[in-house]
Amino acid sequence: MDLPIIYHQDYVAPIPEGHRFPMPKFGKLYELLKRDGIATDEQIHTPELPSTEWIELVHTPEYVQAYLEGNLEPKAQRRIGLPWSQALVKRTCTAVGGTVLTAKLALNHGLAINTAGGTHHAFPSYGSGFCIFNDLAIASRVLQKLELAKKILILDLDVHQGDGTAWIFQDDESVFTFSMHCQENFPSTKQKSDLDVPLSAGMDDDSYLQTLARYLPDLLWALKPDLVLYDAGVDPHIGDRLGKLALTDTGIYRREMQVLSTCLAAGYPVASVIGGGYADNIDGLVYRHSLLHRAASEVYRQYLL
């Protein structure tokens, strides 16, 4: 079995006129992975739309219904930062289904990678920061409901704190939230993760990776999770317009190799999502996202074939 990679054509939603949110990156990422031979037809798995019941394991029925039907109050819609459309609803729900499928496949094969996901700013009753439904939280709850996993580690290396995820699981010992993020960045009001590692602006490759190495191995040893859900945001990159850290392409690739190798060598399956990434140079951004899949392909061959 080759490395499972999850993609659906509905990951690509039309960009609202005048909006800079890089939705084309999802389709372009898939095209790049295919062109470079990282993803073959045999590796691609297509997710199904999740049930409303699954989404409501995390989000309130009132919020779910209002968003799906396009009835959110204007203030709530502005907080999300994306204008409502039926295409965006479909993309959002499909990405949630993709992360659930990624988690299931990771449990079966040791490692699986989504080509979307990482909407960690979504809270139970509202969305925020381009995040509508919290796919990491929903996937965790679905796995637990299906009795496929009990203890889950959410490893969040997006440059922004996973505040929605932290809040959702603040009193739940079955899901451990770890967020390593730039302190001087969105959100202005941080929530309390089980483990927060705030970073100073401008941190470079070596300092970042050394910091991660101080925490991850010990955390895995202490928790012994059934699954690691990894948010591999590339917005810590020096070229990211919403980042404030200074990782290079090489640093991002080293990070992915470090995370995946550390987890798999210790025997813990990993389901990864691509997380955040924001740049005017869409090709450079898509390449940075592809580094996760390139590293995963290498690590999969080393540890799981």
Average pLDDT over residues 50-79: 97
Q: In this predicted model, what pLDDT tens digit does every residue of 211-236 receive, in sequence order?
A: 999 999 999 999 999 999 999 999 99
CA geometry: angle 108, 268, 138, nearest 5 deg:
65
With 90 as the cut, is the pLDDT of residue 20 above it? no
Nearest to 290 by CA among 5, 72, 2, 1: 5
Residue type, 198: P
Q: Is 240 exposed, middle or buried (0-12, 13-18, 19+ CB in 10 A)?
A: buried
Find out whether 210 and 197 touch, Cβ atoms under 8 Å: no
Phi-psi sector, 162: left (phi>0), alpha (psi -120 to 50), beta: beta
Pairing of strands 175-182, 152-156: parallel
Q: In this predicted model, what pLDDT tens digit does every residue of 183-221 receive, in sequence order?
A: 999 999 999 999 999 999 999 999 999 999 999 999 999
Report the side by side order of strands in the sheet with 111-114: 44-45, 5-6, 111-114, 270-273, 227-231, 152-156, 175-182, 195-199
Q: Is 225 exposed, middle or buried (0-12, 13-18, 19+ CB in 10 A)?
A: buried
Superfamily of domain 5-303, CATH level 4:
Histone deacetylase domain (3.40.800.20)
Q: In this predicted model, what pLDDT tens digit does every residue of 124-143 receive, in sequence order?
A: 999 999 999 999 999 999 99
Residue 46: predicted pLDDT: 97
With 70 as the cut, is the pLDDT of residue 111 above it? yes
With 90 as the cut, is the pLDDT of residue 15 above it? no
Structure tokens at 218: 């010990």
Structure tokens at 125: 């009753």
Instruction: Please give the share of the chain, as a percent, with pLDDT higher than 70.
Output: 97
Nearest to 296 by CA among 204, 232, 238: 232
Find out whether 58 and 145 touch, Cβ atoms under 8 Å: no
Rounded CA-CA distance 19/230 in Å is: 28
Instruction: Please give the share of the chain, as a percent, with pLDDT higher than 90.
Output: 92
List the chain domain ranges. 5-303
DSSP 237: B
Rounded CA-CA distance 46/154 in Å is: 23
Residue 17: predicted pLDDT: 60
Residue 39: predicted pLDDT: 96
- The pLDDT-based confidence of 304 (bands split at 50, 70, 90) is confident
| pTM exceeding the 0.85 threshold for the entire prediction | yes
Q: In this predicted model, what pLDDT tens digit does every residue of 248-301 receive, in sequence order?
A: 999 999 999 999 999 999 999 999 999 999 998 999 999 999 999 999 999 999
